[in-house]
């Protein structure tokens, strides 16, 4: 039996090379994308974990401030050090400094070398023989990667700068334990504290417990006794936080890969169904000769698998190559911006490879399932006599067929109302799959109902033949249309989603960029010299607004929340923040007001009007939530607070960003006025138009992969149409030859086949457009809010969609020209004579 | 080798049965011609015997174990066909994607004959039907007569108990039809196989051991 199966598979590959290869490639594409995304993400996380392990070491717990602007008081470190369960606690001060004249800040870690030896051995410095001073004399130790980047070596004098503070020192050695991508400096904690602060406090305390102590129990016991502004983290919280950071983006990319796989499954479906139809007489003969129904079913499944296995293997190889290429081009976060600067090493992995291989096989088997079922069910005697015959469904089946799309639509509607599951829009994705199934299931109903009516009208012969064929062979029409339905629906939905998002971002940028000019330092405070100069009356600025950004840890396992301290009027915040709903006035008294971003509102289920206890400035501070504002730049939430409130609460406002309004007519003078400061302090200046252009360009780049996939999907859909039409023409060779013998010219036959292709394409595009709008709505209203917490209004770009549909229709007519040529290629007499 | 008893068949929307209470027996090695006008049900009877269509009533016992194909399920019918029945069709029905030798060995694969025997048995049959050296040829390069010889070889290669032939010379010119007919009868007799041949050809019918005429009133 295996011999016969093998013969038939080989014959299938020999006789249907193009369709089989394309199906294989579609499966390969899906597997490749999925595997590549997995490899890249896994490598990026491993890379991050390694870098984190270098810097963080291997502690049992980390004591840190919840507020990035805050710090851990030395008394807290000393209290913990006195705990008999604690073997050692290593205090650490971490800050970012510029090494002049470089503009980009790097990490400076101040440590106590004795305790660090127990917890963070990879950060231990190595003294250079050529330098006299050591760690305790105020030397800094630079990672080899940073030394290479700066082109410096031990003994070089450097100036480290953070805002107005600076430290002139010497490179006393390197950090042999750091990795090839680690850009950091290490110095003695006392020296770092002296030059950059904080006084009587540190950034973190890294705890190593006595061997007999259970770290989880110890952390749980101590967590309740800590001051409100401090947090005791487990070392793997950071890994979970980083994994959560890119989770939704990753899942979204994986869903795109699954979509490619789904398209592959549809192509296998079209290929196998047409193959079954074309070979129905042969399968019937094998059935007559004794091939059991089960074996006829298995044969088609095996043929599907014969497409899936090499396709998936090819996909794995392609996925590895793609992963290598993507990490070089886009970095470890695929352009998502989550692990900036990461270019991890890609290592092929056996278990994920097997899982993606299995997924490719499952997709091809799923595609072959219905054709296999039809092959099993074909009545042998009838198929032997007249070839493939689609039996009309019985009364009940017909009713079910009509009801099915309605029931599925209801189910999809219910799914769109469900909340995220494990923080992922799984119900939304299922609703999208259902919409596609509805589209495909409704194709035969539409063709029968619309074209059945047309076929009864008086029409010229070619048109009548074409319309009758579409109306009477709904299964073939369904197969031919299904590829277009899926590909156009997905393309249209992405166009709708991207367009809605772009329009929303465009409007949002209008609101969040009120000033003509912006200046920022990179994570370090702006120099006082500049801030003081800006207060002079002769400056070319009519107005200057300062803001600072820090971060808060609300949930250690989730990414940090941004804290924006801005010059906002408490009574009129809508002048600076794009609110999505009403702005509530705070209750009487001196409670601070914060305005939260949509993401924070959704992730932490915080509503306007509530009071919150925020871990701010080393304590839990009660604040009033005055409203929710739209923020497309911080996916994990942001809290805005007015500068006045922040300072009233005791916060040290150190601005990092400026919004500048040059006086009318003094725009050029304003830029020239800023130039000396930007050069001296490594600051960045950009005008609003430039920021807008850059933002939209980043937006467009991040969707570039999607556009490529859309183009691939459309090509696959068109090819599916051409293949199915060609197969359908091949099945009707005798019928077409008979028409030729009866007096149809080649031109008339060709026109009939092309019209048939155009009608099927029109049905596919119409349904595809309807499904695309439905899926686009789900993407913008369900998937984006649930996965990324981005809400936006639906914007349907009709001109782009209709132009896309029109050009696809033209392409479909051209594709059906191929089928028409097949139909008229052979001489009529030969076809009739060879007909069995 | 074939016993049909009380066989009745009515098409779903037909007013009267196509045939009812048919009964006949074909002994081992006996060749029987089934004649009758078009539409009388000859092909349907053949399909019922092969288990390709279900009979409404009656029994059809085939092979040395006299298995009643009417009572068997689809899978068992397929197995019975693979083991005990060989087919020759008017339209040849040779698989275009397999070469001549592969076509002939399909029944051997289906009834589980050890792979080592395939080549020799196929070769013997090719020689017996006058197609020695044609094993590697593709069906598209063969004439109608040659295709029917391939079909005859395929019908006989697994030494079935019964050959069912539906108008085996219907698509051939008289000279080729004569040659193919002689070949078929010769080989069937040589293998001591029973055969039921549906035909409109009087010369063919006359060459058989017995003639059954199917009429709207039954067998005569």
Q: Which residues lie below 8 Å from residue A299, measured CB to CB, with a gap of 6+?
A: A5, A8, A283, A291, A372, A375
Nearest to B109 among A4, A288, A836 (CB): A4
Provide the pLDDT confidence category of residue A455 given band limits of 50, 70 and 90: low
Judge whether residue A650 has pLDDT over 70. yes
| Structure confidence at residue A832 as a pLDDT band (50, 70, 90) | low
Does B93 contact A286 at a Cβ distance shorter than 8 Å?
Answer: no
Which one of B82, B92, B96 has the shortest CB-CB distance to A289? B82
pLDDT at A722 over 90: no
Neighbours of B199 (CB within 10 A): 24
Q: What integer is the mean pLDDT of B51-71?
A: 87
A260 pLDDT above the threshold of 60: yes
Pick A240 or A77 by higher pLDDT: A77
A248 has pLDDT over 70? no
**Residue in A with minimal Cα distance to B48:** A381
Q: What is the pLDDT confidence band of residue A244, given thresholds at 50, 70 and 90?
A: low
| pLDDT value at residue A826 | 65
Average pLDDT over residues B112-130: 89
A253 vs A550 pLDDT, higher one: A550
pLDDT at residue A454, rounded to an integer: 73
Residue A338 has what pLDDT?
47
Burial A177-205 (b: 16+ CB within 10 A, else e): bbbebbbbbbbbbebbbebbebeebbbbb
A836 contacts in chain B (CB < 8 Å): 91-93
Residue B91, chain A, CB below 8 Å: the answer is yes
**A and B: number of Cβ contacts within 8 A:** 71
Contacts of B91 in chain A (CB under 8 A): 836
Is residue A737 over pLDDT 50?
yes
The pLDDT value given to residue A242: 61
3-state helix/strand/coil string of A506-518: HHHHHHHCCCCEE
For the sheet containing A517-520, what is the strand order? A611-616, A619-629, A592-597, A638-642, A561-566, A541-552, A657-662, A517-520, A684-687
pLDDT given at position A298: 93
| CB spacing of B75 vs A15 below 8 angstroms | no
pLDDT of A546: 92
A435 confidence band (pLDDT: 50, 70, 90):
very high
What pLDDT shows up at residue A836?
Answer: 42
Q: How confident is the model at residue A314 (pLDDT cuts 50, 70, 90)?
A: very high
- Residues 152-211 in A contacting B (C-alpha not used; CB under 8 Å): none
Residue A419 confidence (pLDDT) above 80: yes
Separation CA A191–CA A136 (nearest Å)? 8
- pLDDT-derived band of residue A253, with 50, 70 and 90 as boundaries? low
Looking at residues B127-146, what average pLDDT do you find? 89
User: What was the pLDDT predicted at B33?
Assistant: 93
pLDDT higher than threshold 50 for residue A153: yes
pLDDT tens track for A462-478: 777 778 777 776 676 77
The CATH number corresponding to B2-219 among 3.40.50.300, 3.40.50.80, 3.90.1150.10, 3.90.1580.10 equals 3.40.50.300
Predicted confidence at residue B213, as pLDDT, reads 93
ipTM value, please give it. 0.85
pLDDT in tens, A811-822: 888 877 777 776
Structure tokens at A662: 């040059």
CA distance A608 to A611: 8
Pairwise CA distance, residues B39 & A492, whole Å: 55
Reading the block at residue A429, the tokens are: 């994705």
Please judge whether B52 and A381 are an interchain contact, meaning their C-beta atoms are less than 8 angstroms apart: yes
Q: What is the pLDDT of residues A83-102, one digit of tens each?
A: 888 888 889 998 888 888 87
By Cβ distance, the residue of B102, B110, B115 closest to A7 is B102
- Tell me the shortest Cα–Cα distance from B68 to chain A, in angstroms: 16
Q: At what angle do helices A280-289 and A237-278 cross, to 10 degrees?
A: 80
- Evaluate if residue A569 carries a pLDDT over 60: yes
Q: Is A289 on the interface with B (CB under 8 A)?
A: yes
pLDDT computed for residue A773 by the predictor = 94
The residue-averaged pLDDT of B187-207 equals: 88
Mean pLDDT of A695-708: 73
Would you list the domain boundaries of chain B? 2-219
Please name the member of B80, B97, B111 whose beta carbon is closest to the beta carbon of A11: B97
Average pLDDT over residues A306-332: 85
B positions 149-168 inside 8 Å of A (CB): 154
Assess A392–B contact: CB distance below 8 Å, yes or no.
no
A393: confidence class by pLDDT, cuts 50, 70, 90? low
Query: Which structure tokens are listed for A443?
Result: 């194709």
B130 Rama sector, left if φ>0, alpha if ψ -120 to 50, beta otherwise: left
Instruction: Calculate what percentage of chain A has a pLDDT beyond 90.
Output: 17
In angstroms, the separation between the Cα of residue B86 and the nearest Cα of chain A is 7
The predicted model gives A736-746 an average pLDDT of 74
Nearest to A187 by CA among A136, A145, A118: A136
Give tens-digit pLDDT for A611-639: 988 888 878 888 999 999 998 878 788 99
Mutate to test the interface with A, among B110, B139, B144, B154 (most CBs of A within 10 A): B110
Region A536-565 average pLDDT: 87
Per the CB < 8 Å rule, is B106 touching A289? Answer: yes
What's the whole-number average pLDDT of chain A? Answer: 82
pLDDT digits (tens, 9 = 90+) for A516-532: 999 988 667 888 888 99
Q: Rounded distance, CA B152 to CA B180, Å? A: 9
**Radius of gyration for chain B, computed over Cα atoms and rounded to the nearest angstrom:** 17
Q: Does B110 contact A1 at a Cβ distance shorter than 8 Å?
A: yes
Q: Which span out of A75-79, A129-133, A659-663, A759-763 was modeled with the highest average pLDDT?
A: A659-663
- DSSP 8-state assignment for residue A619: E
Using the Cβ of B50 and the Cβ atoms of chain A, whether some distance falls under 8 Å is answered with yes
Q: Is the pLDDT of residue A137 over 50?
A: yes
């Amino acid at each position: 039996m295996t011999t016969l199966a093998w013969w038939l598979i080989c014959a299938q590959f020999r006789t249907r090379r193009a369709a089989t290869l394309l199906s294989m490639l579609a499966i390969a594409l899906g597997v490749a994308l999925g595997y590549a995304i997995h490899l890249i993400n896994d490598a990026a996380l491993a890379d991050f974990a390694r870098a984190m392990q270098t810097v963080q070491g291997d502690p049992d717990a980390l004591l840190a401030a919840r507020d990035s602007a805050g710090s851990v008081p030395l008394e807290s470190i000393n209290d913990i050090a006195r705990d008999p369960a604690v073997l050692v606690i290593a205090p650490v001060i971490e800050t970012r400094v510029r090494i002049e004249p470089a503009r980009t800040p790097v990490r400076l870690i101040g440590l106590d070398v004795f305790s660090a030896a127990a917890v963070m051995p990879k950060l231990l410095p190595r003294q250079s023989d050529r330098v006299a001073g050591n760690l305790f004399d105020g030397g800094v130790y630079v990672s080899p990667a940073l030394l290479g980047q700066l082109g410096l070596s031990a003994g070089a004098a450097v100036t480290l700068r953070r805002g107005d503070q600076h430290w002139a020192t010497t490179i006393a050695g390197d950090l042999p334990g750091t990795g090839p991508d680690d850009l950091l400096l290490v110095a003695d904690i006392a020296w770092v504290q002296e030059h950059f602060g904080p006084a009587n406090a540190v950034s973190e305390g890294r705890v190593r417990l006595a061997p007999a102590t259970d770290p989880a129990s110890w952390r749980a016991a101590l967590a309740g006794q800590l001051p409100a502004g401090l947090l005791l983290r487990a070392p793997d919280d950071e890994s979970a936080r980083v994994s959560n950071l890119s989770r939704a983006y990753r899942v979204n990319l994986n869903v795109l890969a699954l979509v490619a796989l789904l398209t592959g499954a549809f192509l296998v479906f079209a290929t196998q169904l047409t193959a079954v139809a074309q070979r129905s007489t042969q399968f019937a003969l094998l059935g007559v000769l004794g091939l059991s129904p089960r074996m006829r079913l298995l044969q088609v499944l095996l043929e599907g698998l014969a497409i899936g296995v090499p396709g998936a293997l090819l996909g794995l190889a392609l996925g590895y190559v793609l992963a290598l290429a993507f990490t070089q081009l886009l970095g470890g976060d695929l352009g998502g911006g989550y692990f900036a600067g990461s270019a991890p090493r890609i290592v092929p992995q056996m278990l994920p490879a097997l899982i993606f291989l299995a997924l490719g096989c499952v997709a091809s088997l799923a595609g072959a399932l219905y054709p296999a079922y039809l092959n099993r069910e074909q009545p042998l005697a009838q198929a032997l006599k007249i070839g493939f015959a689609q039996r009309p469904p019985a009364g009940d089946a017909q009713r079910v067929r009509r009801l099915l799309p309605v029931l599925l639509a209801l189910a999809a509607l219910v799914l769109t109302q469900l909340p995220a599951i494990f923080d992922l829009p799984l119900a939304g994705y299922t609703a999208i799959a259902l919409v596609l199934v509805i589209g495909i299931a409704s194709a035969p109903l539409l063709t029968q109902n619309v074209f059945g009516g047309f076929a009864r009208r008086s029409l010229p012969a070619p048109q009548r033949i074409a319309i009758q064929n579409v109306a009477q062979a709904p299964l073939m029409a369904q197969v031919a249309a299904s590829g277009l339905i899926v590909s156009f629906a997905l393309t249209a939905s992405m166009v709708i989603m991207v367009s809605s998002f772009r329009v929303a971002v465009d409007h949002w940028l209008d609101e969040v960029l009120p000033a003509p000019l912006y200046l920022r330092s990179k994570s370090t405070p702006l120099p006082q010299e500049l801030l003081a100069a800006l207060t002079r009356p002769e400056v070319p600025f009519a107005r200057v607004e300062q803001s600072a950004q820090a971060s808060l840890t609300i949930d250690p396992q989730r990414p940090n929340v941004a804290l924006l301290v801005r010059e906002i009027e408490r009574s009129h915040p809508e002048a600076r923040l794009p609110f999505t709903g009403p702005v509530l006035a705070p209750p009487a008294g001196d409670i601070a007001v914060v305005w939260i971003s949509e993401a924070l509102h959704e992730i932490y289920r915080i509503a306007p009007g509530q009071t919150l206890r925020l871990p701010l400035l080393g304590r839990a501070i009660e604040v009033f939530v005055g409203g929710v504002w739209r923020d497309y730049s911080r996916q994990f939430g942001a809290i805005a607070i007015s500068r006045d409130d922040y300072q009233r609460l005791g916060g040290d406002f150190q601005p990092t960003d400026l919004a500048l309004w040059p006086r009318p007519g003094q725009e050029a003078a304003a830029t020239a006025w800023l130039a000396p400061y930007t050069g001296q302090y490594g600051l960045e200046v950009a005008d609003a138009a430039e920021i807008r252009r850059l933002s939209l360009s980043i937006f467009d780049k991040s969707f570039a992969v999607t556009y490529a996939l859309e183009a691939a999907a459309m090509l696959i859909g068109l090819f599916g149409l051409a293949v199915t039409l060609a197969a359908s023409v091949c099945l009707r060779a005798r019928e077409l030859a008979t028409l030729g013998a009866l007096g149809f010219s080649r031109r008339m036959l060709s026109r009939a086949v092309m019209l048939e292709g155009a009608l099927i394409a029109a049905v596919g595009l119409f349904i595809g457009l309807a499904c695309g709008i439905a899926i686009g709505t789900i993407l913008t209203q369900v998937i984006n809010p649930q996965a990324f917490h981005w809400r936006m209004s639906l914007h349907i770009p009709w001109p782009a969609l209709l132009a896309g549909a029109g050009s696809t229709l033209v392409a479909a007519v051209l594709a059906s020209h191929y089928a028409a040529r097949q139909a008229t290629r052979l001489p009529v007499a030969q076809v009739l004579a060879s007909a069995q | 080798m074939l016993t049909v008893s009380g066989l009745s068949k009515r098409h779903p929307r037909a007013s009267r049965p196509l045939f009812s209470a048919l009964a006949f027996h074909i002994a081992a090695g006996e060749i029987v011609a089934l004649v009758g006008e078009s539409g009388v049900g000859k092909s349907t009877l053949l399909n019922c015997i092969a288990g390709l269509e279900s009979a409404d009533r009656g029994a059809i016992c085939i092979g040395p174990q006299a298995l009643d194909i009417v009572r068997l399920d689809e899978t068992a019918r397929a197995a019975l066909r693979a083991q005990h029945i060989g087919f020759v069709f008017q339209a040849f029905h040779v698989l275009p994607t397999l070469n001549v030798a592969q076509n002939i060995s399909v029944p051997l694969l289906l009834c589980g004959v050890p792979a080592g025997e395939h080549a020799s048995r196929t070769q013997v049959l090719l020689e017996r039907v006058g197609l020695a050296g044609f094993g590697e040829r593709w069906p598209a390069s063969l004439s109608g007569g040659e295709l029917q010889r391939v079909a005859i070889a395929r019908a006989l290669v697994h030494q079935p108990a019964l050959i069912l032939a539906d108008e085996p010379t219907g698509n051939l010119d008289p000279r080729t039809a004569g040659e193919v007919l002689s070949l078929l009868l010769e080989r069937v007799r040589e293998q001591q196989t029973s055969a039921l041949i549906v035909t409109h050809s009087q010369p063919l019918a006359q060459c058989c051991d017995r003639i059954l005429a199917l009429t709207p009133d039954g067998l005569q």
